[in-house]
């Protein structure tokens, strides 16, 4: 049985595959999740119930998600002495999907934002946000039902590149002067 970071992959699910230019999603897809730090633990518990209920309702109980915990952040550091273990990134690549709770960025030197690291390691170069009206939800837009907007935000360069320098270093001073 395959495992990542020594954690066995669930036997009952199957990975999402890609063939003929399409993603093929089985009835029991294995979806890795990173619980997150701080409030992430509480957010994850509630979100998981919502995802499970929505899946059951959308597919009439014929499909369900097989959750597979992978680790990053404080929990990973406590268990593996690494903030972002290689096995976590490997699992996300294998299963082609993951859900992540909020992660802390450790205070002090030597590590950049875990969120930026994940974006760069997985080449998540864009954040795609479709905007649509949901009937019955109040909107400040005059004709919200006519709205058809998609926002693309670059995710790995500029502000999100994770270029960070300690206060008082020559690099930080040059950036401030720029």
Domain annotation for the chain: domains and CATH numbers: 1-124 (3.40.718.10), 125-178 (no CATH)
Q: CA 96 → CA 41, 64, 71, 151, 160, distances in Å?
A: 23, 17, 16, 23, 22
More confident residue, 60 or 161: 60
pLDDT digits (tens, 9 = 90+) for 62-100: 999 999 999 999 999 999 999 999 999 999 999 999 999
pLDDT, tens only, 121-178: 888 878 888 988 889 999 998 999 998 899 988 776 665 555 666 778 888 788 778 7
Residue whose C-alpha is closest to residue 71's, from 3, 155, 2, 156:
3
Q: For 101-123, what is the mean pLDDT?
A: 80
CB distance 104 to 43 below 8 Å: no
Q: What is the CA radius of gyration of the chain?
A: 20
Note the pLDDT of residue 105: 76
- Whether residue 98 contacts residue 68, with contact meaning beta carbons closer than 8 Å, is answered with no
Which structure tokens are listed for 22?
């399409």
Q: What is the pLDDT of residue 99?
A: 96
What pLDDT score was predicted for residue 170?
86
- The secondary structure of residue 29, as a DSSP letter, is B
Integer Cα distance of 115 and 126 in angstroms: 13
Tens-place pLDDT, residues 23-35:
999 999 999 999 9
* Cα 102 to Cα 6: distance, rounded to the nearest angstrom: 23
Q: What is the reported pTM? A: 0.77
User: At residue 10, does pLDDT exceed 60?
Assistant: yes
The per-residue pLDDT for 38 is: 92
């Amino acid at each position: 049985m395959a495992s990542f970071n020594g954690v066995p992959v669930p036997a009952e699910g199957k990975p999402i595959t890609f063939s003929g230019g399409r993603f093929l999603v089985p009835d029991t897809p294995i979806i890795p999740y990173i619980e997150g730090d701080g409030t992430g633990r509480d957010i994850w518990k509630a979100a998981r119930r919502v995802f499970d209920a929505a899946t059951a309702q959308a597919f009439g109980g014929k499909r369900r998600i097989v959750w597979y915990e992978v680790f990053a952040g404080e929990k990973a550091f406590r268990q593996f002495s690494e903030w972002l273990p290689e096995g976590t990134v490997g699992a996300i690549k294998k299963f082609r999907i993951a859900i992540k709770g909020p992660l802390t960025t450790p205070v002090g030197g030597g590590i950049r934002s875990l969120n930026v690291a994940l974006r760069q390691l997985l080449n998540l170069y864009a954040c795609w946000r479709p905007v649509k009206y949901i009937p019955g939800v109040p909107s400040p837009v005059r004709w919200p039902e006519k709205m058809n907007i998609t926002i693309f935000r670059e995710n790995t360069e500029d502000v999100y590149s994770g270029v960070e320098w300690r206060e008082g270093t020559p690099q930080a001073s040059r950036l401030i002067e720029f």
